[in-house]
Structure 1
Amino acid sequence: MPNVFLDDNLLKNSMYTFMENVYLLGVCINPEGTLIYVNPHFYKTTGYNEKEIIGKSWYEQFLPVNKIDTVIQTMNAIVENKYSMRSETSIVKKDGTQLIVEWHNVPIVDNDKVVYIVSLGIDVTARNEVELLLKLNEKTMRERAEMYEKQNKVLEDTKKGMLNLLDDAKQLEEALQHEKKSVELKVDERTKELNEEKARLVSSINSFPSGFVVTDTEGNVVLTNNLLNEIFKVRHTQWTLSEIAGYLEGATDFTAHYRKCTELKEPVLIKDIDIGRRYIELYIAPIFLSPLSDNTIGNIILITDITEEKILERSKDEFFSIASHELRTPLTAIRGNIELIKKHYLSKVSEQSFTEMIDDIGSSSDRLIELVNEFLNMSRLEQGKIKFEKELFDLDDLIDGVVFEMQSSAKEKGLFLKYENKNEKLPRVIADSNRVKEVLLNLVSNAIVYSDKGGITVISELADSYIKVSVNDTGRGISPQNQNLLFRKFQQANPSLYARDSSKSSGLGLYISKLMVEAMGGKIYLEWSQEGAGSTFTFTLPVSRG
């Protein structure tokens, strides 16, 4: 077989992508036992964050005390012999509980020396628990079988004794007939209850606001509701998965989604499926035998018509866009006329109150134009109509420029404004420099507005393949209940609705910043806040790999 040339960078990127997206626990440690990398699934499963893991000892912090020596021996053997090993041990989650993990450990060798060990782990806690339960159940079943055998013997002996005591066969027959009627009555009552329960279940399913389908493990459709026919504009009394796939052909690969749900035993959600002048949402989820079981008995399929929701969403976006455009034209005219009045006529009027009115009209029109521009930016970002000019640039220079530009605003309130770079030289980032500047200006401006003493510090540092930029202030801080309002449209983290008048904010700044940062491949979030002490807002941007 011919050799296949593999590009090193492609291979590295592929392996990194695999580690970042695989639903297995992934860790990388050096021969001394220090953690140098864990994948997202490890964070999600254990509850730790990056600061609590990277650079920490694998043996001292994440293993039960009674397992440390065994794991150290295993890792030493891998390092000494340079071969892969499989092991099983417990790890301690952040909440103190333990997982049992089956590890596949592979040494990475450079110049005949193990430089680090990569381990992929499978959570086998549930499997071990099931095996233990099966063993216990087997023992219990044997004991019950013996008990039932003894009870049957007692019943047989009792039956013989009763027959011997019954001299009159007629009385015995009457007693049996009476018992038979009683049993039949109970069966009829139970049958009626089951039919009523079935009717309630069918009624509930038919009133469900989505097309409802239940399948068994063989892929046979065992139950549907009436809305399924309405969604696809057909009349079927019996459905098959192939028929559903046929109606969705060309819009989405229903068969592939169903197979994925069945094989991975995980829900699958597909949004905004266009089936010709209508939009639907597809949700497929496995049906587990019990909450603790990994065995499934089929799948549930929900097909929801979201056409009206899409129309409403589009109408709302178009309204914002059109209204903003129509508002900006007269507002610009107002502002222009105010400037003309100030330039040519204001000196001819001696009334101070008239001058104040003109200034108030001018500042109000400026604020309205700013709000309209924010509405337009929001609408364009939500509709994906803003083009981001991705470029390589030096973030240090951009931050220096923003700090210099906002310095006068900070000094007016008696606040300091400074920039700290935790790295000697930051690598260049790849993003839209103008949009990054907008985000940083918004964060610094907010910090100045909500700070009455102390000052603002902008901090940058390298974090893996991202540059982290934080804006720390010594302002009023944000209460825990109001932190949930951040990064939402028209929301401010202020307990009073009248605070907009003093801050002159629409509540769109953080929401627009979030849309822009995420469009450039980064994240923005509130890192820390305490009432009366201040807040730290942080955003990240990907660094250039070139």
Structure 2
Amino acid sequence: MPTDTYSDEQNIAQQIYQRNRELLQERRRAEDLLFNVSEGVFAVDKEFKITIFNNRLNMMLGLPEGTALGKDVDDVIILETEKGVPVDIKQYCFLPPQKMPILTDLVLKSPVNDFFVKVMFSYIKSEKDEEDSECLVTISDVTKEIMLDKTKDDFLSLASHELRTPLTIIKSYLWMLLNDQKSPLGDQQKTYAERTAASTETMIAMVNDMLNISRLEQGKLNFNLKAGKIISSIQDGLTGFDLKAKEKNIGFKIDFSTLPLETDAYYDDDKFKECIVNLVGNAIKFTKEGEVKVNVENAGNYIKISIIDTGVGISPEDVPQLFQKFGKGQRSYEKSEITGGSGLGLYIVKIYIEAMGGEVGYSSPGDFKGSVFWITVPKFTQIHV
């Protein structure tokens, strides 16, 4: 005769079996989900042997299912920068969560096709044994987005080249009209021609900005870095800005009283001047009253140049757009019909200054209380010799 004890033991065994079966089904569902997600996913153990390798990665690398398991990750996953520099993926695994990077602009090498990818890491820590911990890596295929950007950039470059010649011709004919002594224009005609000439100059500047950005992003723009007298470059670059400020009845001042005149910096003189002209031009453009001040000072191993104005300032919601490509704040946009501008100037300043080893930044004493744009340029030291 069965006893109650036997019945209880059987019930416990049945419950354990049922729970194990449910856990197994859940694990299989999770593995199926991981295996079939649209992102490439793999995991490695502490010895960097592959423990998980999903279907998307098999397809990207042209591998039969299961062949990657157990292999060293370096034998299967080959990552490079766009310039062909190998990327050691192992150094990014098993870092603390707060130091886990997101790698972008990488190329996944494959016998099928090379892919532009973004790579993210997760440390799956074992609670029982540290040696059982794994690193989960997600590889996102961003080839379509990258190729779309490249196509857009190529179009902008081509369009800019094609636009520059007719714009230069228009500028030349307008100059001839405005300076024709034999058949001078009437007052109204002259006004129209001057406005057209100003708009043409704006268009030419915009085209040149787009060409420079295209060259920068394709790595075709060279920098002539060498020692130079930074104060002389600032004075030369800003020649005539005092007159522009005077036309608007605002003050203009360059203060380098705390920096020795002979201080050497390490920079590209022409591109540095372009940055200074851009920043000071913006300051004067958006300042209706008060003054624009250029402050030059020591900042450790750098020289810091701050452009301080009493203009409209930048609204807090627009600050994240500063120094971004085509980044134009609402206030600057409202004035675009009068002042012009492509939204490329600050982006070019950032790219140029960072290529010279410096930094860019912005601060404001408050809403509608002016702006402070600053850049730094490294001093010339024995390191550069």
Normalised by the length of structure 1, the TM-score is 0.61
- AA paired with 2:123? P
Equivalents in 2 of 1:263, 1:479: separation in Å? Answer: 38
Q: Report the secondary structure of 2:313's partner residue.
A: coil
Equivalents in 1 of 2:347, 2:279: separation in Å? Answer: 12
Partner of 1:386: 221
Distance 1:244 1:417, change over 3 A: same
Equivalents in 2 of 1:451, 1:229: separation in Å? Answer: 59
Query: Given the alignment, which residue of 436, 446, 452 partners 2:282?
Result: 446
Query: Residue 394 of structure 1: CA displacement?
Result: 0.8
Are 1:336 and 2:172 an aligned pair?
Answer: yes
Query: Residue 241 of structure 1: CA displacement?
Result: 6.1
Equivalents in 2 of 1:494, 1:260: separation in Å? Answer: 40
Alignment of 1:476-487 (within 5 A): 476-487=312-323
Distance 1:427 1:204, change over 3 A: farther
Query: Residue 192 of structure 1: CA displacement?
Result: 4.7
Alignment of 1:49-128 (within 5 A): none
Equivalents in 2 of 1:475, 1:316: separation in Å? Answer: 35
Are 1:361 and 2:190 an aligned pair?
Answer: no
Structure label with greater radius of gyration? 1
- AA paired with 2:26? E
Query: Given the alignment, which residue of 237, 247, 258 partners 2:90?
Result: 258
Distance 1:345 1:407, change over 3 A: closer
Equivalents in 2 of 1:284, 1:419: separation in Å? Answer: 49
Q: Report the secondary structure of 1:539's partner residue.
A: strand
Does structure 2 conserve the Cα–Cα contact (< 8 Å) formed by 1:219 and 1:241? Answer: no
Q: Report the secondary structure of 1:469's partner residue.
A: strand
Does structure 2 conserve the Cα–Cα contact (< 8 Å) formed by 1:470 and 1:537? Answer: yes
Partner of 1:414: 249
Alignment of 1:220-239 (within 5 A): 220-239=49-68
- AA paired with 1:275? K
Equivalents in 1 of 2:79, 2:286: separation in Å? Answer: 53
Alignment of 1:511-526 (within 5 A): 511-526=347-362
Partner of 1:125: none
Q: Which has the higher contact order (CA 8 A, sep 6+)?
A: 2
- AA paired with 1:287? I
Distance 1:525 1:296, change over 3 A: farther
Number of aligned positions between the proteins = 371
Distance 1:289 1:508, change over 3 A: same
Does structure 2 conserve the Cα–Cα contact (< 8 Å) formed by 1:403 and 1:417? Answer: no
- AA paired with 1:182? N
Distance 1:467 1:360, change over 3 A: closer
Partner of 1:468: 304
1:127-146 CA-to-partner distances (Å, cap 9, x unmatched) read xxxxxxxxxxxxxxxxxxxx
Query: Residue 378 of structure 1: CA displacement?
Result: 1.5
Partner of 1:534: 370
Q: Report the secondary structure of 1:525's partner residue.
A: strand
- AA paired with 1:475? G
Distance 1:426 1:539, change over 3 A: farther
Partner of 1:375: 210
Query: Residue 197 of structure 1: CA displacement?
Result: 2.6
Query: Given the alignment, which residue of 306, 317, 320 partners 2:142?
Result: 306
Query: Given the alignment, which residue of 268, 274, 288 partners 2:125?
Result: 288
Equivalents in 2 of 1:474, 1:349: separation in Å? Answer: 39
Query: Residue 300 of structure 1: CA displacement?
Result: 1.4
1:108-137 CA-to-partner distances (Å, cap 9, x unmatched) read xxxxxxxxxxxxxxxxxxxxxxxxxxxxxx
Structure 1: gaps (5+ residues): 1-169
Equivalents in 2 of 1:354, 1:471: separation in Å? Answer: 38
CA RMSD of aligned residues (A): 3.1
Does structure 2 conserve the Cα–Cα contact (< 8 Å) formed by 1:273 and 1:280? Answer: yes
Equivalents in 2 of 1:456, 1:329: separation in Å? Answer: 35
Distance 1:499 1:199, change over 3 A: farther
Equivalents in 2 of 1:496, 1:528: separation in Å? Answer: 16
Does structure 2 conserve the Cα–Cα contact (< 8 Å) formed by 1:287 and 1:296? Answer: no
Partner of 1:510: 346
Distance 1:497 1:179, change over 3 A: farther
Query: Given the alignment, which residue of 265, 268, 275 partners 2:109?
Result: 275
Equivalents in 1 of 2:90, 2:211: separation in Å? Answer: 40
Are 1:211 and 2:40 an aligned pair?
Answer: yes
1:431-468 CA-to-partner distances (Å, cap 9, x unmatched) read 11111111111111111112122111111111111111
Does structure 2 conserve the Cα–Cα contact (< 8 Å) formed by 1:478 and 1:535? Answer: yes
Alignment of 1:307-326 (within 5 A): 307-326=143-162
- AA paired with 2:306? S
Normalised by the length of structure 2, the TM-score is 0.84
Equivalents in 2 of 1:299, 1:486: separation in Å? Answer: 37
Are 1:398 and 2:267 an aligned pair?
Answer: no
Does structure 2 conserve the Cα–Cα contact (< 8 Å) formed by 1:467 and 1:540? Answer: yes
1:484-513 CA-to-partner distances (Å, cap 9, x unmatched) read 111011112334743322221111111110
Q: Report the secondary structure of 2:358's partner residue.
A: coil
